[in-house]
Structures are given as C-alpha cells and as structure tokens.
Amino acid sequence: MLPLPVSHPQQRFFYDKVAIRDGRILSALRSRARITNLGLLLLFSLAFFSLMLNVNVWIDTTPGLPKSILSTLSGDTTAENIDHLIVVPGHAIWNGASAENRLNESLWTLEPYQRNSGRIQAFYQHIAHASKLSLQDKHSLVVFSGGQTRRETTTTEAESYMRLAMQANLLPHDFIRATTENYALDSHQNLLFSIARFHEYTGAYPVRITVVGYEMKRKRFADLHRVAVRWAEHRFEYIGIDSDDLQENDIAQEGEMKTYMETSNDMYHCHSQLLQKRKNRNHHRRYHPYHTSSPELSELIEWCPVEGSMLYNGMLPWIE
C-alpha cells in the first residue's frame, strides 16, 4: 500500500494527537513527584550496581593478557632480579643430536653461502661466549633468537642453538636464566623481539643489553638496530666474534656493507628488499605473540615510516 499524502486529513489528525499528547507528557515530566526514601535507595543501588558492572567489563577488556593465558602463568619470582639481556642472534639451524658432531655441516641447515666457510665454528663461539657470560652474571637472561627460517626444518634457529648449548654442557640442563625467542626473521627483530621476549619471561624490561654476534655486524647493531629501538648507547654492549676464515670474511664483509646501506634507508625493515627477506624466511607462516605480551611495544613493532630512516618517536618503556 502506498503511504498516504501528508495533506491527508487522517494523517494530520494523527500529528495533532501526538502534539497534544507530547504536551501532556512534557508537563507530566516536569511536575514534582513524591518518592519514598526506599524508592530512592532502590534506584541509587541499581545505578551503582550497573556502574560497577560496567567498570568490571571495561577492566576485563582492556588490552593485555586474556584470562585463559594469564591463568597458566605461575607467579615465579626467581626472575625478579634479572635486568641484563644477553642476545644471541641465530644464523642457521642445528639438527644434530650430539654436540660432538657440532662442526659437521651435514647436521646443520645452512644457506649455500654458509657452507665451507668456517661459519659454523663462529656460530658455536657465539653460543659458547653468551652461555659463559650468562653463568657469570646472576642478573642476566640469555635469549637465543631466531625463527623457523628454513623450509626444510621443523624447528627454529633459537631452539636449535639452545639445544646445542645444553648438549655441549655449556649451560646446565635445569638452568632457568636461558630461553628462546622463536620468531625473529632478521637482525632488527633479533634485538626488538628479544627485548619483548625478556619482558614476556621476566615481567620487566631489561636495563642492559649485550649482543653476542659477528664482529662484522657490530656497526649495524650498534649504529642502526639499537638506534631504531631507541636503546641508550651506554646500556648497550656488542661482543663480536667472526669466522677464522679470512677470505670468507672478506666476502661476508661485502654483503654486510650492502645490508648496512639498505638498513640505514629502511630502519624498520618494512620496505622492499628487507621486507622481502623476511617474507622469504617465513615459509612456515609463523607470527609472534609480542603484541599480546608487550602491548606497550605495539606501536614500535608496527612503525613503518614512508621515509625509511625516520625514527620511531612514540612512547617506550625504556625511555624516561
């Protein structure tokens, strides 16, 4: 049925009726009313109850850990005095079972350029040196960092490094001040994600950071990756150990110079080549939990300026 024209008498009558009724409602609303103290009390307690319910819902939905996750975490206080993060960036994946064969290349998943290069020896030295440091400093946590970066393996760089450290008795088997960071896809993430993992593990952010890696990457870590996360220079140390193979080091150095240039133009690795590297390493489509466990780092993790060298300028837990 078509709607009636506005001029239709019945319609006008309807509007008139509403207008009259409105007038009455208005005057009814404005007239004084009597209410017993009991009535008032009931109304107030209803309002109070409703307010509390709202506050409760609001607290439950503020960002942070969902209850189902939080309820599985014990309030372990052994991590309380830990404030020194030792990072070991991973470079490959060890598939061996016995540390005696740690220098057998066929037990490592390596990139072609990593073969016959003395690099495995350097990886092992990174692991050994960081383990030694962590045993010396009771306030440290060593974080082996690196994701499942190769298609043909079932494990992560980090897990394999830590397993090797334990197999080689570099760390006691019940050692609690060592853990893995299983998601980093490059050096920038090795640093940033290890800080997030430190927070996930200890409940606090580190005060000092030591990175144990290739000497040839010192400049990149100290001048670029550290600066990108705005970590203070005086709280940062880099310990560099290269392969003994000098010829190999020259070749690696060339590659490093190229990556240094790329990084200085794309500090957060979120454009072209550096982003492509991350994609190429993420065959297993994994992603990290740090938005959940360190929501205060979310903005930094997502920071991707059009001008790639522009530094993150938002809030950070370690900037006073």
Ligand X SMILES: *[C@@H]1O[C@H](CO)[C@@H](O)[C@H](O)[C@H]1NC(C)=O
Closer to ligand X by Cβ: residue 104 or 116: 104
Binding mask 44-83 for ligand X (x = CB under 6 A): ----------------------------------------
Alpha carbon 186 to its chain centroid, in Å, reads 13
Give, in order, the Cα–Cα distances in Å from 240 to each of 125, 136, 251.
10, 18, 17
Smaller CB separation from ligand X, 54 or 104: 104
Least CB distance from residue 158 to ligand X, whole Å?
23
Q: How far is the CB of 105 from ligand X (least distance, A)?
A: 8
Closest by CA to 86, choosing from 150, 162, 167, is 162
Compute the least distance from the CB of residue 100 to ligand X, in Å: 9
Q: Which is closer to ligand X, CB of 107 or CB of 227?
A: 107
Distance CA 232, CA 197 (A): 19
Looking at beta carbons only, is 16 or 100 nearer to ligand X? 100
**Among the candidate windows 104-112, 208-216, 220-228, 276-284, which touches ligand X by CB under 6 A?**
104-112
**Residue 277 CA to chain centroid, in angstroms?**
19
- Give 79 or 107: the residue with its C-beta nearer to ligand X: 107
Quote the DSSP letter at residue 69.
H
The CA-atom distances, in angstroms, between 270 and each of 14, 91, 166, 280, 309 are 64, 20, 35, 13, 11
DSSP state of 223: I
Q: Which stretch binds ligand X (CB under 6 A): 58-66, 103-111, 147-155, 215-223?
A: 103-111
Task: Supply angle C-alpha 267, 228, 188, rounded to 5.
Answer: 70
Q: Which CB atom, from 102 or from 188, has the smaller least distance to ligand X?
A: 102
Instruction: Give start and end residues of each alpha helix (H) in 62-156.
Output: 67-70, 119-136
Q: In the complex, which residue's CB is closest to ligand X?
A: 104
Using the contact rule CB under 6 A, the part of the chain among 24-32, 100-108, 113-121, 303-311 near ligand X is 100-108
Q: For residues 101 and 276, which CB has a smaller minimum distance to ligand X in the complex?
A: 101
Q: Which of 106, 247, 253, 265 binds ligand X (CB under 6 A)?
A: 106
Min dist. Cβ of residue 107 to ligand X (A): 5
Site size for ligand X (CB under 6 A)? 4
State how far the Cα of 264 lies from the Cα of 225, in Å rounded to an integer: 9
- Give the one residue of 99, 107, 135, 316 binding ligand X; rule: CB under 6 A: 107
| By CB under 6 A, residue 104 contacts ligand X | yes
Buried b or exposed e, range 45-62, using 16+ CB within 10 angstroms: eeeeeeeeeeeeeeeeee
| H or E segment and range at residue 89 | strand 84-89
Of 104 and 309, CB closest to ligand X: 104
Which window, 99-107, 172-180, 195-203, 223-231, contacts ligand X (CB under 6 A)?
99-107
CA 63/CA 320 separation, integer angstroms: 22
| Residues at the contact surface with ligand X, assessed by CB under 6 A | 101, 104, 106-107
